[in-house]
Each structure stands twice: as structure tokens, then as C-alpha cells.
Amino acid sequence: MDISPFNRSRFQEYYCQSFSFRKCCFFLFIFFFLIALVVVVIPSIIVLSLKPQKPVFSFQTLKVQTYKLDVLNNSGSDDLLLSSVISLTLIAQNPNKVGIRYRSTRFHVFNEGVVIGMIQVPAFYQPPRSNNLTLETRVIFYCVNVTQILSNISLQQKSSTKSVTLASIFGDVSAQVKLLNVNFPKVKLAVECAINIDQNYIKLSNQVIYSVKAAKYSTISLPMNIKGTFSNKCSASIYI
């Protein structure tokens, strides 16, 4: 039975449309497959091959640049207020095979949940496999109630024999991995540090406070050599 020219034309049109639809679906499948390959598979292979580790941060030296001491009469008792600018040397270690670039940021210093200071960290770059990259930062304290802080610390001394927590540092910083001159997308690192102080230094600090209270507005020389007095433990976690 012969097919009429009209039916033949409709059949060819239907066949072409069906073929075009299957062809379009095939190319869409290839496209999304390549996208998944680039987004998931390739980064996974890179991560597994590089075996990334968390960068390590610690504080090495501390130097008081400027300070101001005031005595405030609070409900019949004298509280010592401290305003100071401190130079703090940060040690950054990068055990990874890739370089990491950090943007400038600010960390907050807490004591018993209250902000008592701020750390200004400039932008810097960590080369691959770097162990002792030193970075100068600035710590700013404004009208910190030292008497109240030492009072809180004295409560911790009952449960600790060697050192007590002086302050905690919290903040985040934008980081970017650099591999073979290729910059990867930026991520954020949440940094947390616990600053501990030796109890022997607490006794010396109390002596200084009593001297300042007695002298009121006289100039008092603070002990500047604090090597071996402070210890710190920092941790960093990655989040998008």
C-alpha cells in the first residue's frame, strides 16, 4: 500500500522532531555530566591527592608599646583601668603542599564573654610547607577593668594548679588557596585561641595593682619580661 505524499511528509516531520529531541537530551546529559565532573570529581581528586591539613597559628612574643593606667572609684573600692596598644608576633605554619593567602581581618579578645580588646591582623601569604612565618599584629585594649579580670581569674585558681585562662580570641578570616598560579575560590577560617597565664605571674600582677592604687596617678613601671609566662592554644576550622 502506497503512502500518500501528505502522510509521508507528516512521518518525516515527526521522525525529525523525535530525532532532534533525543539529540537535545543527549547533549544536555553530556553537558550536565561535564559540569558534575568539574564541580565534584576533579576537586575531590585534588583534595585526596593533596591531603589538606589545617594551618597552625600561635603567638610567640608580646611587647607593650603604649599604656595608660587609671584608678576608678567604684562603690567604695578602687578598680584599675588599663588602656594599651601591644605588638604581638603571630607564628603561622602551613603543612600543606599549596600556598594560602589571607585577607586582613580583626579578631576580638574576650574575658568571661565580654569583649576587652581587638587584634588587627594584616593580609599575608603562607608559602607551601612553611613552618615559621612571623607576622606582626597589633592588640588594642581600651579601658579594661584589670581588677575585675584578676578577680575572675582568682576563682579559677581553686580548680587549677599551674595556669588559668586569661582570655579567649575569636574571629574569622577569608583564605584563598593558590596552586600552580591558579587561585581557588575563597573560603573562611574560624580561628579560636585560648590564652593561659601562669599563676606566679598573677601574684606579681596583683602586687602591681596594689602599687598603682596606692600611688593613684603616679607613673608605675610594668613588668615587660613575660617570656614563659603565657601559653596559647589555637585551632582553625573551615566553613564556606
pLDDT digits (tens, 9 = 90+) for 48-104: 555 667 777 777 777 888 878 777 776 666 777 888 888 888 888 888 888 888 899
Say if CB 144 and CB 152 are below 8 A apart.
no
C-alpha–C-alpha distance, residues 183 and 166, integer Å:
38
Instruction: Count CA atoms within 13 Å of residue 130 on its CB side.
Output: 19
Burial 129-166 (b: 16+ CB within 10 A, else e): ebeeeebebebebeebbbbbbbebbeebeeeeeebbeb
pLDDT tens profile 140-164? 988 888 777 777 666 665 555 566 6
pLDDT tens profile 103-139? 999 999 888 888 888 988 899 888 888 887 888 888 8
Residue 227 confidence (pLDDT): 45
pLDDT tens profile 170-189? 888 888 887 777 777 788 88
Residue 171 confidence (pLDDT): 87
What residue type is assigned to position 25 of the chain? C
Q: Which residue would you say has higher pLDDT here, 205 or 116?
A: 116
Residue 228 confidence (pLDDT): 44
pLDDT band at 225 (very low <50, low <70, confident <90, very high): very low
C-alpha–C-alpha distance, residues 109 and 69, integer Å:
19
Say if CB 95 and CB 126 are below 8 A apart.
no
C-alpha–C-alpha distance, residues 213 and 28, integer Å:
78
DSSP 96: S
